[in-house]
Copies of this chain bind each other. A is one copy, B any other.
């Protein structure tokens, strides 16, 4: 059929397919953000029912990942995407994996919370963790926003913030080890908190990966494994 369509018609269809793929990814991102918010709310309110729901929504996110990948490879197979269109599809395929794994970490937070004895689920124990988690959620939100606008400058700012979260996470770990040593009765609880903190740090890492794809989309340069100052140079001075 398609070969009989005019070039314009084909390109219109193609654009609408690409737009659909992009929207699907951003919708998936929204779900993952919600998933993280719910995990944080479960900690903050000691809400076990909410924590239990996380696994179900994780499965929904998994389904979307598969559907997105299928749609993406379908477009690759039927169209012959050129430079920036091809980049967009490849970036979406990679981004969907990161979003899915960020969602996984959110449900893992729920599971770790539910594995803690009820008396340990006191929201007072999660103060520092919630701060870490909010920062990670903020990064992911910013990364999705930068992706939606293909804004390399915004992406670079988020990469810079991720370094800060990593530092905060490390100081959280050091502090936790000190707690355990000072009061060995806290070992089990603090260890659970460390595991939750690690999931949050990993969410930040996935947000960082998304930002690298944004720079790739905007500049065509693959900046994974490139130092932040070099990326900043590549992207150029921040406007405004």
List the interface of chain A (C-beta within 8 A of B): 59, 62-63, 65-66, 69-70, 73, 76-77, 80-83, 86-87, 90, 93-94, 97, 177, 180-181, 184, 187-188, 191, 222, 224-225
Contact = CB atoms under 8 A, between A and B. Distances in A.
13 contacts: A62-B225, A65-B225, A66-B225, A73-B90, A76-B81, A77-B82, A77-B83, A77-B86, A80-B80, A93-B93, A97-B97, A177-B191, A181-B184
A73 B90 CA distance: 8
A116 to B, nearest CB: 13
A100 to B, nearest CB: 8
Contact of A225 (B59, B73, B180): B59
B184 A65 contact: no
Contact of A66 (B63, B73, B90, B224): B224
Number of copies: 2
Contacts of A191: 177, 180
A62 B180 CA distance: 37
A105 to B, nearest CB: 13
Contacts of A97: 94, 97
Contacts of A184: 180-181, 184, 187
10 smallest beta-carbon distances between A and B, as pairs? A62-B225, A184-B184, A66-B222, A181-B187, A180-B187, A80-B80, A77-B86, A73-B90, A181-B184, A177-B191
Contacts of A181: 184, 187-188
A188 B180 CA distance: 9
Contacts of A63: 225
B83 A222 contact: no
A181 B191 CA distance: 11
